[in-house]
Structure 1
Amino acid sequence: MERISFTEIPKEMLGKLMDLENYINNSGIDLKLLELMRLRVAQINGCAYCVDMHHKELKHLKETDLRLSSLVVWEETSYFTNKERAALYFTEILTKLAPKPIKEKDYQVIKNQFKKEEIIILTLAISQINTWTRLMKTFQIEAGNYRVNR
């Protein structure tokens, strides 16, 4: 049961969050890569609403069922690109954040595949989806009703 509905969230707050989403989505980073990262964060954080949303977004972007079902075990597969693997690795590092600085060897994984400007956007995107998952889990927004709006 929902604790807080979307209609109860201050419009200004949602507007600011959506402005940030639009900024990230229009940054030049591949949208399918961003959605893979978002889905992985939702899986890690156990957010049913966000898993539903990002699964549907990826299906809309023509992502394959094989890759969608294997995202939870992406490290054990061969069908994610090196760039995707680096982004997913970085996504997991930032989502399962340790109380210590990120190790240089972990940062090198992302640095080897992305430019500095892209790393900034990826870091923001990971932070943003972690914010969303925490909001949705706290508010207990019902999963399953999301509709792709493109």
Structure 2
Amino acid sequence: MPDLRVRALQLLARRDHSRAELRAKLAVHAESADEVESVLDTLQAERLLSDHRYASQRVAARAGRYGNARLRLELKQQGVAEEDIDAALPEAGDEVERCRSIWAKKFGQPPLTAEARAKQMRFLQYRGFSADAIRQTLRGAEDE
């Protein structure tokens, strides 16, 4: 068990991990699932492991490139609980502003044809922006 704790601390020293992510990485080296859970419980009690902190850092790092839907999906895939995701997403800032910034960097000018508009919308949808944010961004671009 001390060896497992050392491994966990080495992983956490590099970057924050979600509990599920750390569980998967430690399971390979553990003799039982109970041993892994025990180490994770200890780390969480010592506040060395926190899904809330992980979600906040992940959102802060990726909010400049992705919309709320994509951020939410990535955090869910890492095993972060809904309440931690809901608490972290507002830290990303206004989704419409982030959408406009990414749109301006990628395209810079309003679409001239329906095909160009569809292409821009697909790009922003892939990045995880809501339909409302995309509509406001393209409407704002056409008004200018």
TM-score category by the smaller chain? Answer: under 0.3
TM-score, structure 1 normalization: 0.23
Which structure would you say has the larger Rg?
2
- Which structure carries more relative contact order (alpha carbon 8 Å, separation 6+)? 1
TM-score, structure 2 normalization: 0.24
Q: Counting helix residues as a fraction of each chain, which structure ranks higher?
A: 2
